[in-house]
Amino acid sequence: DTEVTQTPKHLVMGMTNKKSLKCEQHMGHRAMYWYKQKAKKPPELMFVYSYEKLSINESVPSRFSPECPNSSLLNLHLHALQPEDSALYLCASSQVDRSYEQYFGPGTRLTVT
């Protein structure tokens, strides 16, 4: 199984809502990543988890809160987002020592109204 799944595929939320994005993989990867991708732009790294611990936070605003409850799951909790946070949110995973070979999920298309 070389698949990374993400739910939901699409999400529309208001600026006062609280929602969560979910990511799951069963490849035994112990590194997991959240990226944000705006239209016609490359993915930008947000967070990296290694062995279920947060190892990189790319100065992401606190309205984005990641969580890695176990080695297969990665969540991104959203609260009080702004319209400019609308983007495609990509999850990826890799072996810890093969971070160059990341497997990406299909993404969640988020629209903040």
Partner 1 sequence: EDKVVQSPLSLVVHEGDTVTLNCSYEVTNFRSLLWYKQEKKAPTFLFMLTSSGIEKKSGRLSSILDKKELSSILNITATQTGDSAIYLCAMIKTSYDKVIFGPGTSLSVIP
Site residues (vs partner 1, CB under 8 A): 4, 31, 41-45, 48, 55-56, 58, 88, 90, 99-107
Helix (H) or strand (E) holding 23: strand 18-25
Is residue 69 within 8 Å of residue 75, measured between CB atoms?
A: yes
Min separation Cβ 4 and partner 1, Å = 8
Min separation Cβ 95 and partner 1, Å = 11
DSSP label of 96: T
Query: In angstroms, rounded to a whole number, what is the distance separating the alpha carbons of residues 94 and 54?
Result: 15
Nearest CB to partner 1, comparing residues 5 and 113? 5
Nearest CB to partner 1, comparing residues 40 and 69? 40
